[in-house]
Amino acid sequence: MRNRLHAQVVVVGGGPVGMLLAAELGERGVDTVVLETKASVSERPKARVLHARALQGLARRGYFPELVGGTAPAGEKAEAPFRFAGIPGLCITAPASEPGPVLKCPQAELERLFEQRARAVGVRVLRGRRVTGVVQEERGVRVTVQGPAGCLEYAARYLVGADGGRSTVRELAGVPSESFRATTSGLAALVTLEDARELPPGWHRTPRGWIVAHDIPGVGTHVRTLDCSGPHPDRHLPPSTGELRAELARIAGREIAFREPRWLSRFSDFARLARSYRLGRVFLAGDAAHLHFPVGAQGLSTGVQDALNLGWKLALAVRGHAGGDLLDTYDQERRPAARRVIDNTVAQLALMRSEPGADSLRALFCGLVAADRESHHLSDLISGQDTVLPGRTRRPSAWTGRFLQNLGLRTGAGRTDVIGLLRPGRPVLLLFGWAGGRHAERARGWEDVVRTVHVAPTPDVPCEALLVLPDGYVAWAAAPDGDRLEDALSLYFGERSPRSGERAVMTGAGVLS
């Protein structure tokens, strides 16, 4: 008979998304276990860019405080150069009061950072574990695990698969997905060039394909090739050093000498999107939920935002403080974001092809990229700052679903800002001046979940009150003929008795059974 262990949430996958989610749960008091197949963090070069919206969300959870320069005048921006489909000139901007438009940080460093916090808040991180079975039941999920001590079984309230593009959880749980076949082939490798002048850092385009190179000081050169003429006949076949040499020479039109690669892998534009991020008590996050062509460095940031969206909702559900369908909003909010990423990477790839007409299309987009400094359409798309969540109330205001920029605020205890108020990980009800104060009594029944803060009025927020969710998005705003605060609070955090603040009977997916 298998040994049975217990946890409130099991997270499968110890990459950056799984570790961040586990840290979010652990910090909120949820008994969480992470199951990871690898014995240690992989140093293989992977993602290395965090975009603005992911950075902004992480800042509200206490990460990268050194990057937050304090409050700044409304409209003041910070900028970072970027590319769209390899076209230079794109300018990613973000409010100067936020941590910055772009952070370049190796994925391995992020994994260690998130794992350190997860362990510090009591998360059990178990490496060398492979999931072999998933069974959903009415009150939880049973997860069969093969590890150093043999076969074990975990009984959990919820299971999250953050185990990558070839997700075992997705397959075992039977979560259907929509896939898009590969039309290109690419190689990625970490090499040491015999002569660095033969392949300078940057994006190199020829009629035969692309070579992208960037130097990693003290480590080597990360090289990627892209052949847009068609997919590899077997994309699961491990590539060889000889194949890399031949492909570099074919695209560049000359031999590029390098020593034996430290790492070598294959990629393509194969894409996948789970048809739902939730199936009962099983959730998917990161590459397990969405996979796309790796252009624009959007995958890591999209996964980080998955974790920040799901973490607080799952914690409330475990504690019995979630509205009936709160957990369903994870799919409703994050799946469309991944669809936008897949769509924009398909568009970028169309610009990168060598087919007839591609040069004319690229010339047109060069002008559009340059003009984006004023419109911000492309830059906000890539950085995730165009995200507006769907309203859940009957009469949402213009603020509903928007991300609340970091603002300087004045309370009775002194000056603070939005980032500081959200750091504890709780929803915050901001009441502006005496007019906002009249909403305080209406929120009293939810004071064990929602933190109420009285602040001085500010021209940056021309309304009496805002209900801000832990990931920084506005759930409700006071507005003439708008929704009642009590209705919004009930929707997100469940019905409460108006007199005692006691929780009313709950039904639905978010209930603690």
- What is the tens place of the pLDDT at every residue in 229-266? 999 988 789 999 999 999 999 999 999 999 999 999 99
Which pLDDT does position 511 carry in this prediction? 25
pTM for the full model?
0.94
Closest CA to 488 of 253, 326, 310: 326
- 462 phi, psi to nearest 5 deg: -80, 55
Looking at this protein, which amino acid is placed at residue 129?
R
The answer to whether 54 and 305 are in contact (CB under 8 A) is yes
Q: For residue 167, how far is the Cα from the chain centroid?
A: 17
Compute the CA torsion angle 483, 489, 493, 498 (nearest 10 deg). Answer: -120
Q: How many CB atoms lie within 10 A of CB 14?
A: 26
> What's the fold here for domain 3-48+105-180+271-351?
FAD/NAD(P)-binding domain (3.50.50)
Domains 3-48+105-180+271-351 and 185-267 share a fold: no
Asked if pLDDT for residue 72 goes beyond 80, the answer is: no
- Domain 388-513 fold is Glutaredoxin (3.40.30)
- Can you tell me which residue has the tokens 């957990």? 327
The predicted-structure confidence for 413-459, as pLDDT tens digits, reads as follows: 999 999 999 999 999 999 999 988 899 999 999 999 999 999 999 99
Check: CB of residue 423 under 8 Å from CB of residue 60. Answer: yes
Q: What share of the chain is helix, strand, coil (3-state, %, to 5)?
A: 30, 30, 40
> Domain locations in the chain?
3-48+105-180+271-351, 71-100+353-387, 185-267, 388-513
Q: Convert the pLDDT of each residue in 76-96 to its tens digit.
A: 899 999 999 999 999 999 999
What does pLDDT average to over the chain?
93
pLDDT digits (tens, 9 = 90+) for 352-399: 998 888 889 999 999 999 999 889 999 999 999 999 999 999 999 999
Q: What count of other Cβ atoms lies within 10 Å of the Cβ of residue 324?
A: 16
CA angle 489, 118, 405 (to 5 degrees): 45
Spatial contact of 274 and 289, defined as CB atoms under 8 Å apart? yes
What would you report as the CA-atom Rg of the chain, rounded to the nearest whole angstrom?
24
CATH tag, 185-267: 3.30.70.2450
